[in-house]
């Protein structure tokens, strides 16, 4: 008789409270629970009104989300009756909960998965402390009151220790006293807080990693009171297998720049191709949250930290697929492309900025002018300016290499029975990066650029037209520079014919 899933059995009949349920990881987590654990109890979602929509209206939109397409192949929309929206906000006192809603959670919840956070690297301390640090403290305080809590799963980030080049699955010493940081945020003006911020952050690159690091200590403080576990994903990317290969709703990281590259507006990318880039598929992250929660609740062996990572087990470098990237950009092009796609990696910031003038800004000016003439929105110059302005802030993450060791995750994968290894897979040893990135690109095409497979034939026709336009543009640029060099030297175009191949070579280096 085949083994039964221990993870599914644990969650069956249990009520789960999720924060951050409308984010990238959260929405994928909800889909997995509804599809893989049909006997789950209620799934309470902490939500706040957004864009003029009440939480009940936001919940009504869930069935329209493409992430649920596979779920709805075998289930009616009645499956969403398990979802219970709860008005609140981790950034507010008492989580913004009404007394009645709080009591409902205290009386009924068995599992808490805390995923809500602000991920903005540009934010100053005030919002990140309110959401990442105090939000976690408020979740912990709620957990202390819950009558039948089985486990708290805290979603952290491997980059809470980004000041180290190698990090292990442990809670490192806090960079600052959390109460002191909270007191400063509550008492200082914005100007004074901005001034003291570098002294507080020390070696942390931004307020996100700093406050997420402090948040881990909020969880560690209660590790002896009830079962807790911390899962630290690295850079989360499109799905490996579920709900469909390549699914994504995130524009962060490779999804974002491949989205721009397929449009033809991102043509140069600053990165170190030979450095290990630690990417982890979102479905693996979701599975690990559920498996880690099951393990913590059933073993009760103290706080365990898990790196949900690939750098030390299945390392990826962009150099390994550099020659293939442009191939799948043209094999699966976009009908909505505005320029001929061609992505090139640039391994220094100054060279990227130099090349961006010619391959990003000049075409963006031309395309924005065309958009204005045709009644469209001129956004390309602004987009590239935003990228330009963020580069210095992101330089550490672009060109640094980290190794996040994951023996706890490997041990957990080995502990799972055959049923769970298939249903809640967390072993990434069989992940193949080249086909994964083909699927990621197809996912970006389908879910971010909103182009279905039936548009491929028309897209390939347009790709050919854009190639002709691209070649004409390059010839025009080279001719213009050739003409300017001839004018400056006082030579005729024929006499300065040597300039044309030289310009071409230099232009190709950008």
Q: Cis link prior to 243 (omega < 30° from 0)?
A: yes
* C-alpha–C-alpha distance, residues 18 and 343, integer Å: 39
**pLDDT score at 390:** 67
Tell me the sheet residues that pair with 86. 46
* C-alpha–C-alpha distance, residues 86 and 417, integer Å: 35
- Give how far Cα 477 sits from Cα of 339, 480, 484, 503, Å: 15, 5, 11, 9
Where do we find the tokens 């992430």? Answer: 67
Task: Name all domains of the chain by residue range, CATH numbers in brackets.
Answer: 6-254+277-317+401-430 (3.40.50.720), 319-397+452-509 (no CATH)
**Residues 6+ away with beta carbon under 8 Å from 367:** 265, 338, 339, 380
pTM of the predicted structure, to 2 decimals: 0.92
Q: Using an 8 Å Cβ cutoff, are 128 and 214 in contact? A: no
Helix-helix angle 499-509:456-489, to 10 degrees: 130
**pLDDT score at 392:** 65
* C-alpha–C-alpha distance, residues 166 and 312, integer Å: 10
Tell me the sheet residues that pair with 114. 19, 154
Backbone phi and psi for residue 42, each to the nearest 5 degrees, phi listed first? -80, 145
**pLDDT score at 245:** 97
Helix-, strand-, coil-residue percentages of the chain, each rounded to 5: 55, 10, 35
Identify the three-state secondary structure at position 420. Answer: helix
- Torsion of the alpha carbons at 367, 370, 375 and 380, rounded to the nearest 10: 10
**pLDDT score at 356:** 82
| Sites in the chain below the pLDDT cut of 70 | 1-2, 389-393, 509-510
* C-alpha–C-alpha distance, residues 106 and 178, integer Å: 26
Tokens of 323: 């020659």
**Residues 6+ away with beta carbon under 8 Å from 229:** 151, 152, 153, 154, 292, 293, 295, 296, 303, 304, 305, 306
End-to-end alpha-carbon separation of the chain, Å?
Answer: 63
Where do we find the tokens 């709805």? Answer: 72
Judged by phi (left if over 0) then psi (alpha if -120 to 50, else beta), residue 104 lies in alpha
**pLDDT score at 88:** 95
**pLDDT score at 1:** 46
Mode of pairing for the β-strands spanning 166-167 and 403-404: parallel
* C-alpha–C-alpha distance, residues 412 and 356, integer Å: 45
> Which regions of 418-489 does DSSP assign to beta strands (E)?
none
Identify the three-state secondary structure at position 315. Answer: coil
Which strand (E) or helix (H) includes residue 114?
strand 111-114
């Amino acid at each position: 008789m085949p083994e039964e899933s221990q993870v599914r059995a644990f969650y069956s009949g249990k009520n789960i409270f999720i924060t951050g349920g409308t984010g990238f990881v959260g929405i994928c987590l909800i889909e997995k629970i509804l599809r893989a654990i049909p006997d789950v109890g209620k799934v309470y979602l902490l939500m706040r009104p957004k864009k003029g929509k009440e939480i009940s209206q936001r919940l009504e939109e869930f069935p329209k989300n493409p992430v649920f397409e596979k779920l709805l192949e075998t289930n009616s929309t009645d499956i969403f009756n398990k979802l219970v929206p709860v008005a609140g906000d981790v950034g507010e006192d008492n989580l913004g909960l009404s007394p009645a809603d709080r009591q409902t959670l205290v009386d009924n919840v068995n599992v808490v998965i805390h995923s809500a956070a602000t991920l903005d690297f540009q934010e100053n301390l005030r919002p990140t402390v309110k959401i990442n640090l105090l939000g976690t403290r408020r979740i912990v305080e709620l957990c202390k009151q819950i009558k039948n809590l089985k486990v708290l799963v805290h979603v952290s980030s491997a980059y809470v220790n980004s000041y180290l080049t190698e990090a292990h699955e442990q809670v490192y010493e806090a960079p600052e006293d959390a109460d002191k940081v909270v007191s400063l945020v509550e008492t200082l003006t914005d100007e004074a807080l901005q001034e003291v911020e570098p002294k507080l952050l020390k070696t942390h690159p931004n307020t996100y990693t700093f406050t997420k690091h402090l948040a881990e200590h909020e969880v560690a403080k209660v590790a002896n009171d009830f079962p807790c576990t911390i899962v630290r994903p690295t850079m989360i990317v499109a799905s490996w297998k579920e709900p469909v290969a390549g699914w994504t709703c995130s524009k962060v990281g490779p999804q974002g720049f491949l989205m721009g590259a397929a449009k033809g507006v991102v043509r140069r990318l600053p990165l170190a191709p030979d450095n290990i880039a630690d990417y982890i598929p979102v479905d693996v992250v979701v599975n690990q949250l559920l498996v880690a929660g099951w393990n913590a609740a059933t073993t009760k062996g103290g706080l365990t930290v898990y790196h949900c990572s690939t750098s030390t087990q299945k390392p990826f470098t962009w150099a390994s697929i550099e020659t293939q990237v442009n191939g799948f950009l043209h094999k699966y092009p976009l009908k909505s492309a505005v320029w001929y796609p061609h992505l090139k990696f640039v391994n220094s910031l100054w060279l990227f900025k130099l090349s961006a003038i010619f391959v990003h800004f000049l075409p963006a000016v031309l395309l924005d002018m065309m958009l204005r003439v045709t009644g469209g929105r001129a956004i390309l110059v602004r987009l590239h300016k935003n990228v330009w302005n963020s580069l210095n802030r992101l330089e550490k993450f672009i060109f640094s290499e980290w190794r996040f060791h994951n023996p706890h995750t490997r041990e957990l994968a080995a502990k799972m029975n055959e049923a769970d290894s298939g249903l809640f897979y967390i072993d990434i040893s069989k992940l193949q990066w080249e086909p994964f990135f083909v699927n990621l690109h197809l996912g970006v095409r389908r879910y971010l650029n909103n182009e279905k497979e039936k548009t491929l034939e028309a897209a390939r026709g347009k790709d050919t037209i854009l190639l002709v336009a691209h070649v004409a543009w390059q010839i025009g640029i080279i001719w213009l520079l050739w003409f300017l060099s001839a004018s400056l030297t006082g030579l005729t175009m024929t006499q300065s014919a040597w300039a044309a191949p030289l310009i071409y070579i230099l232009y190709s280096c950008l």
